Amino acid sequence: MELIVDGNKVFAATGGKTFDRQKPTVIFLHGAGFDRTAWLLQSRWFAHHGRSVLAVDLPGHGRSEGSPLASVADMADWTCRLIDEAGVSRPALVGHSLGALVALETAARRPDGVRALGLLGVAVEMPVHPEMLESAAANTGKVRELMTFWGLGRVMQQGTAPMPGLWLTRASLALLGAARPGVIHRDLAACNSYAGALEAARRVTCPTAFVLGDSDLMTPPAKARPLIDAIGDKRVTILPQCGHFMMSEQPDRTLAALQAVL
């Protein structure tokens, strides 16, 4: 499905079902350097169980036009305009990593306009190692390797993916390798500079699902504790032996955690 936001085409997967504005909507927001395909299982389940789904490619990502946005605040403003363009009221927002920060900031800006939140791989701060930023700025392969090997849990790197024949390490490298030049650097810099997560969390009033991996080196669960404490209506799921890419590493458990709130 295509929408027009700020004069640019935005592509969104609808989970294999025709988008219906009359149904409750779930909007999925991907992480740095990724695209809508990060949500294959979760988006499809909701689309086939009474929800309308928009798993979007952020500007400059995947099949969406435009340049990648420079900050979490800019992405939240863009998400608000996307919601208006889609013509939906009170959607649920699900975000991973950078997308989780964007979902959180969007919900804070629209306290009565977001039905529920799903925050995956999130932390109160997301500093990025200077070596990763340097590699991303130079558009070398090193940043993709670092993101993959720090992101995937140790168990998944040993070849124990839930689907036979699925090699998550190669899948991550391939997806990050498809990103346009400058996209990963812009995304990581936005994570690195964002300092508004705690204040945003204090303004969130909707039910919120936190989905965290106990082996996540990028956003360890302890780093999410200030956000968890700031939100009153929440459900926290910590997935065992799971890294940062929980949607792929443990897709069924991730889905179950989202189902409980969404």
pLDDT for 169 equals 86
Classify 2-126+195-259 by CATH class: alpha beta
Question: What is the C-alpha separation between 235 and 127, in angstroms, rounded?
Answer: 25
Question: What is the C-alpha separation between 162 and 259, in angstroms, rounded?
Answer: 20
pTM (predicted TM-score): 0.95
pLDDT over 90 for what percent of the chain?
89
Task: Write out pLDDT tens, residues 214-246.
Answer: 999 999 999 999 999 999 999 999 999 999 999
Task: Write out pLDDT tens, residues 144-182.
Answer: 999 998 898 776 666 665 655 567 888 899 999 999 999
Smallest Cα–Cα separation from 103: which of 5, 201, 34, 17? 201
The number of beta carbons lying within 10 Å of the beta carbon of residue 210 is 24
Task: Write out pLDDT tens, residues 81-105.
Answer: 999 999 999 999 999 999 999 999 9
Question: What is the C-alpha separation between 12 and 255, in angstroms, rounded?
Answer: 19
User: Are 75 and 9 contacting, i.e. CB atoms less than 8 angstroms apart?
Assistant: no
